[in-house]
Amino acid sequence: MGLSSRDVQVTEQQVLNALSQVQEPELGGDLVSRRMIKDVQVDGGRVSFTVELTTPACPLKDQIRAEAEAAVAAVPGVETVLLEFSANTRQHAGLPEQAPIPGVSNVLAVAAGKGGVGKSTVAVNLAVALAQEGASVGLLDADVFGPSLPLMLGINGQPQAVQNEQGKAMILPLEGHGIKLMSVGFMIDENQPVIWRGPMASQLLRQFLYDVAWAPLDYLIIDMPPGTSDIALTLAQSLPLTGSLIVTTPQAVATTDVIKAMEMLKKVNVPLLGIVENMAYFVAPDTGTRYDIFGSGGAERLSTQLGVPLLGQIPLGMAVRAGGDSGNPAVSNAAPDAYAETFRQVARQLAARISVLKFVQ
Annotated binding site: 113-120
Backbone dihedral angles phi then psi of residue 110, each to the nearest 5 degrees: -100, 115
Annotated binding site for ATP: 113-120
Q: Which residues are within 8 A (CB) of 340 and not within 5 positions of it... i.e. 6 or more apart?
A: 330, 331, 332, 333, 334
Residue 271: count of CB within 10 angstroms of its CB = 16
b/e map 83-93, b = 16+ CB within 10 Å? eeeebebbebe
For the residues of 185-233, what is the DSSP string, one character each? GGTS-TTS-----HHHHHHHHHHHHHSB---SEEEEEEEPPSSS-HHHH
Nearest Cα residue to 275 out of 297, 252, 246: 246
CB 250, CB 295: distance < 8 Å: yes
Distance, CA of 350 to CA of 106 (rounded, Å): 12
What burial class does residue 243 get, using C-beta atoms within 10 Å of its C-beta: 0-12 exposed, 13-18 middle, 19+ buried? Answer: buried
- Return the H-helix or E-strand segment holding 22: none
Query: Cα–Cα–Cα angle for 23, 270, 130, nearest 5°?
Result: 55
Residues shown for the chain: 361
For residues 187 and 157, what is the distance between their CA atoms, to the nearest angstrom?
9
CA distances from 137 to 73, 88, 221, 336, 361 (A): 36, 14, 8, 26, 23
CB under 8 Å to 220, separation ≥6 — which residues? Answer: 101, 104, 106, 107, 108, 137, 138, 139, 140, 214
Q: Kindly state the DSSP code that residue 328 receives in the 8-state scheme.
A: -
